[in-house]
Amino acid sequence: MKAQDIMSRMVVGVRADTDIEQAIKIMLDRHMSGLPVLDKSESLIGIVTEGDFMQRPEVGVERRRPRWLQFLLSPGRLADEYTHTHGRKVEEVMTTEVITANMDTPLEDIIHLMSRNRIKRIPIVSGSKVVGIVTRADVLRALSTAIPHQTPNRKRSDGDILQDIHSEFDRVACIPAALIDASVHEGVVDLRGSITDERERKAVRVAVENIPGVSAVHDHLIWVEPTSGLVLLSPEDEGSQAAVERAAE
């Protein structure tokens, strides 16, 4: 899946000389968290986002640095900060170093750019022209479409399911595959063996539940605490044991 497969092609942008009041109104009316900033030739020159309005004096959240710190910062940096928090035009508050991608950029690279740079949207460009934009919402829509396709339309054999479980266990480094025995009967998976960290239990269960054809998972994994040697039953077995003890009373 590439950027062109999920991007929004109807891109709403603003000019650099747009009043911030108008930019905010567009963002609110269209439920958008950011707007590309375009010049007269429709080339991308910046981006303005919700984050650019989070420290405004109008709502009493202007950044106030201690006086001693102001002496350590360059006059230029202080001037930039003042312009950004008090500016009334988009060009005064926008970010000029925009992270972009092209239509052939793989989706995994798009997500990596968003995560690494802590941003919510990436303009998609062809040359300097904006041809689309990918937001986190676009990624979620792609995910919502992809998830149902993981469920097979036909019943899978227990052998195929078990083979996929072993393959996933071997692939995922955090799963202690050598300590776990899995068996499958009519799509129901039984897990036996041990783990050395309780957090591994969830990882094992998620790995199994994601295998197409699995209808249920029974967790009988015991937790062996490495330092003390303490052994604890799985929540499922602990509950069963408690039920037996109550019935015997």
Backbone angles phi, psi at 132, to 5 degrees: 180, 180
User: Per the structure, how many domains does the chain have?
Assistant: 2
Assigned domain for 211 exists: yes
Contact 109, 8 (CB under 8 A): no
Q: How far apart are the C-alpha atoms of 44 and 99, rounded to whole Å?
A: 11
Assigned domain for 151 exists: no
Determine the average pLDDT of the residues in 190-216. 92
Assigned domain for 152 exists: no
Q: How far apart are the C-alpha atoms of 70 and 150, rounded to whole Å?
A: 56
Domain span holding position 201: 158-248
Residues 169, 114, single domain; the answer is: no
Q: CA 234: distance to chain centroid? A: 30
SS3 110: helix
Assigned domain for 213 exists: yes
Choosing from 121, 146, 171, the residue where a domain stops is 146
Residues 233, 208, single domain; the answer is: yes
Q: How far apart are the C-alpha atoms of 53 and 46, rounded to whole Å?
A: 15
The tens digit of pLDDT for each residue in 34-93 reads 999 999 988 999 999 998 888 888 877 666 666 656 556 667 666 777 788 888 999 999
Residues 123, 163, single domain; the answer is: no
State the chain's mean pLDDT as an integer. 86
Q: Within 13 Å of residue 124, how many CA atoms lie on the same side as its CB?
A: 24
The tens digit of pLDDT for each residue in 128-186 reads 899 999 999 999 988 887 775 555 556 789 999 999 999 999 999 999 999 999 999 99
Backbone angles phi, psi at 106, to 5 degrees: -60, 150
